[in-house]
Amino acid sequence: MAGEADASIVAQNAHAVAFMDVRQAHPGHVLVVSRSHINDLREANAATLVDVFTLVQQLTRAVGDTFPNDGMSLWHSIGAGGNQEVPHLHVHIHPRVMGDRLLEIYPEPPTLPAREDLDAWAEKLIAALSRSTDAQTAHDATADH
């Protein structure tokens, strides 16, 4: 982001820059990166998220129309457990071909929880979203003054 390394920039806006990843499993792998240094999307403000994901959408269309693919994968990793290699908000756009085995999601078939468990987890998330929305509203009210 500081312009100290070579980059093949393909698009940019106020809060994000998109460039070719130096590692290409298939031609067309693009990174969309926030201009501000934040670790992941949880730390981003709304303007940054809008600009990052506007470029993600635009570049996903362009990559899909330009490079051979049977589909596309988008990913944003968070933290060591999510295999985040660079602690800076970025989204990968990967053209994919059948059988390439990139980003295999489950190393073995996942369990299928009981409906009661799914409902209980959903309730926990609903409560967390409510707390998060209340905190954001309070933050926005004080930030406007």
Instruction: Please tell me the predicted confidence (pLDDT) of residue 145.
Output: 40
Instruction: Please tell me the predicted confidence (pLDDT) of residue 6.
Output: 83
Report the C-alpha gap between 90 and 23 in whole angstroms.
Answer: 15
34 within 8 A of 16, measured Cβ to Cβ = yes
Residue with tokens 């992941």: 40
Type of residue found at 105: I
| Tens-binned pLDDT, residue by residue, of the chain (145 aa) | 556 678 999 999 999 999 999 988 899 999 999 999 999 999 999 999 999 999 999 999 999 999 999 999 999 999 888 888 999 999 999 999 999 988 777 778 888 999 999 999 999 999 999 888 766 666 556 554 4
The domain limits of the chain are 9-110, 111-145
CATH of domain 9-110: 3.30.428.10
Instruction: Please tell me the predicted confidence (pLDDT) of residue 133.
Output: 72
State pTM to two decimals: 0.82
- 63 CB neighbour count, 10 Å cutoff: 21
Q: Tell me the β-bridge partners of 19.
A: 9, 31
* Cα 129–chain centre separation: 20
Q: Tell me the β-bridge partners of 20.
A: 30
